[in-house]
A and B are shown apart, each in its own frame.
Chain A
Amino acid sequence: MSDHDYTPKSKAGKWFNDRLPLLTLANHLTDYPTPKNLNYWWTFGGILTFCLITQIVTGLTLAMHYIAHADMAFESVEHIMRDVNYGWLIRYIHANGASMFFLAVYIHIFRSLFYGSYKAPREIIWIIGIIIYLLMMAAAFMGYVLPWGQMSFWGATVITNLFSAIPLVGEGIVTWLWGGYSVDNPTLTRFFTLHYLIPFLILGLVVLHIWALHVPGNNNPIGIDIKKPSKDTVPFHPYIVIKDGFALLMFMIVFAFFVFYTPNILGHADNYIEADPLVTPAHIVPEWYLLPFYAILRSVPDKLLGVVAMLSAILILAALPWLDTSKIRSAVFRPLYKQFYWILVADVLILGYVGAMPAEGLYLLIARVATAYYFLHFLVVLPVLGLKEKTLPVPLSITEPVLGGSPNLATARNKESLK
């Protein structure tokens, strides 16, 4: 970072800053040169920060009333919903907040995929992002167990049983995870502890994620390296702050609609039945944001291989910067990749859909094809495409397409038609 030469104006500020350069940091964050052609897909980083803070604040307040005990957890959630001042509001924000968090993170990830934000020199940002995503899934899963409803209990049973697929030590690991011979009180208390811990790990990783981002600076829709600061950039404050704020408010309207008018639509009715180790619900379905991976798990007929396939589907993303061999970042200038990108989006949506359906007949067949294509995209399409694809000419600076009228996409199309 080149802006270390900042000195506060006031004497006291200077005295403090010489000892702890917080003011330098604040100055760096406000002046941070940001490409001025960022579109609204780039606002989801800020939205995700909001989601994380919302989850932490509501989670802390819920933890003041929740009781992590198998006999009392369900009752304590009802106590929160009925008696605690604004308890219903806080719980509904927290429960729907998880879904909104994942919605935003998926948009964030697919934005990165479209504009090639994971490519050099941003591999570390991307990999930290994948770790955050994995931790989010762990936190969400454990959080879903806490109300101790039927889906909590059986979801916990099914997911922890995945570890039994590990040869030789699998059974031992599952017993260790449970702290008993089934999901029970010891499982609940440790899940609560970890559910409390993970958000703070995520917070730490988010700091690293942003730190790593501020080294090369933001990617942008054109995907070219820009000089910063220059006429291609604007200071983060107020330009990006107000824009992120505007997008965040739009996001909050959707969020508020869920919280106030359909607070239970994203949950499962069975979770309002207290956990019963003797009765399994008719359909065990994970929360919507885990459905694509659930579909991959079920599409493989072998227990161990199914688990391996599911894990690989996530971990393969970490290798993405090296699997994608293209020199061009943005899909705007990669006509073929753009098409494959949308096929991948459709593929993941299909996986999500069949994940919610019973694993039989046509659904199973579709799940298998979609799973195969998912891996094909990353392992074959991307490496080959990078070498073979004929890309469009890339502008030299952001200002060039911007001056030609409306930014990026439209300009790129115009350029295409000019040839």
Chain B
Amino acid sequence: MKNLFKIFSLVILFTGSCLTSYSAEKVEYLKTDWSFKGLFGKFDRGALQRGYQVYTEVCSSCHSMKYVSYRNLAEKGGPEFTEAQAKAIAASFEVKDGPNADGEMFTRPGKLSDKFVMPYENVKAAQAANGGAYPPDMSVLVKARGGGVDYIYSLLQGYEDPPAGFILDDGVYYNKFMYGNKIKMSNQLSDGLVEYADGTNATVEQMSKDVTTFLMWTAEPHLEARHQMGFKAIVYLIILTILVYFSMKRIWSRVETKV
């Protein structure tokens, strides 16, 4: 048994070292409490719905979200809009479809099964409209950045005047959390920019938190199911491990060697 604990602690050590080595690039991000962290972490529905509002009203004019569908908005574990609300949201977008019987493309109101409408036809068009910089697709953005949610949350609030002597080209902005401090996206958020449907005060901090929560969900739509299943799985494994341990003791009691 002693030996087994040695192995076990070795594994834990390995895990620990992974965690530290991957956070090697130390930047102090702004901290906030995320409801979705931890063993039982769940999304805050209100934050997701508000975050969706910030995304649509602010981000979506440049950033696509091509892997997310309107139906997802009504799914369990997400913002959980009602089916009718999600349908109305989808219908408020013009979707290109076709070709029809005449071989022509046409537009129609969006349906639940449609993916989020993209602001630009393709990457080249997006670059052309944004001074050569491609506003990244936001579907999995949180997972595609080292600092994850903390990084996005900080970045949105990280705009400052550059220090003296820091040279910025046209169309480049200073952000203290951006790698190299130069970012091609200007500061997008200002207090009261959106008018939240639920009456929440739309401070920059609030909007950053809401939209980041929303982005976490779009990147990891099954997070809640994962946490719930994970807890059950681990409890189950522990119970079975205990049963097997005592069975093993019984079986090995027939020989004089200890296990």
Contacts and interface: CB of A to CB of B under 8 A. Distances in A.
Contacts of B68: 82
Contacts of B15: 254, 258
A36 B22 contact: no
A270 B147 CA distance: 11
Contacts of B230: 256-257, 259-261
B244 A41 contact: no
B7 interface: yes
B229 A260 contact: yes
A41 B241 contact: no
A191 B21 CA distance: 29
Contact of B19 (A239, A242, A250, A265): A265
B97 to A, nearest CB: 19
Interface string A89-114: 10010000000000100010000000
Nearest to A291: B21
A252 to B, nearest CB: 6
B226 interface: yes
B258 A406 contact: yes
Given A82-B67, A406-B258, A250 B4 contact: yes
B19 A253 contact: no
A356 B21 contact: yes
A311 interface: no
B140 interface: yes
Contacts of B146: 269
A368 B230 CA distance: 42
Contacts of B12: 254
Given A103-B11, A264-B143, A253 B67 contact: no
A287 B229 CA distance: 27
Given A264-B143, A288-B18, A243 B248 contact: yes
Given A82-B221, A261-B39, A41 B7 contact: yes
A139 B7 CA distance: 26
Contacts of B219: 272
Contacts of A41: 3, 7
B179 A282 contact: yes
B136 interface: yes
Interface string B44-72: 00000000000000000000000110001
Interface string A174-212: 000000000000000000000000000000000000000
A384 interface: no
A234 B255 CA distance: 8
A299 B169 CA distance: 38
Contact of B143 (A238, A242, A262, A269): A269
Contacts of A253: 234, 237-238, 241
Given A253-B237, A256-B233, A78 B140 contact: yes
A239 B140 contact: no
B22 A265 contact: yes
Nearest to B245: A246
Interface in B67-115: 67-68, 72
B67 A78 contact: yes
A88 interface: yes
A103 B143 contact: no
B234 to A, nearest CB: 5
B257 A252 contact: no
Interface string A252-293: 111011111111111001101110000000100000100000
Contacts of B148: 269
A264 B143 CA distance: 8
A254 B4 CA distance: 13
B179 A273 contact: no
Given A89-B226, A252-B237, A254-B11, A402 B256 contact: yes
B4 A247 contact: yes
Interface in B115-162: 136-137, 139-140, 143-146, 148
Contacts of A250: 4, 7-8, 241
B4 A272 contact: no
B259 interface: yes
A284 to B, nearest CB: 14
A272 B234 contact: no
A249 B226 contact: no
Interface string A220-258: 000000000000001000110011011101111110111
A37 interface: yes
Contacts of A89: 226, 229
B216 to A, nearest CB: 12
A14 B191 CA distance: 84
Given A250-B241, A402-B257, A107 B7 contact: yes
B17 to A, nearest CB: 8
A239 B136 CA distance: 56
A414 interface: no
A272 B144 contact: yes
B197 interface: no
Contact of A269 (B24, B145, B247): B145
A298 B139 CA distance: 35
Nearest to B227: A260
B144 A270 contact: yes
Given A92-B226, A243-B259, 5 more contacts: A239-B255, A261-B39, A272-B140, A357-B24, A406-B258
Interface of A: 36-37, 39-41, 75, 78-79, 81-82, 88-89, 92, 103, 107, 234, 238-239, 242-243, 245-247, 249-254, 256-266, 269-270, 272-274, 282, 288, 353, 356-357, 402-403, 406-407
> 5 tightest CB-CB pairs across the interface, nearest first?
A260-B230, A272-B144, A249-B241, A272-B143, A78-B67
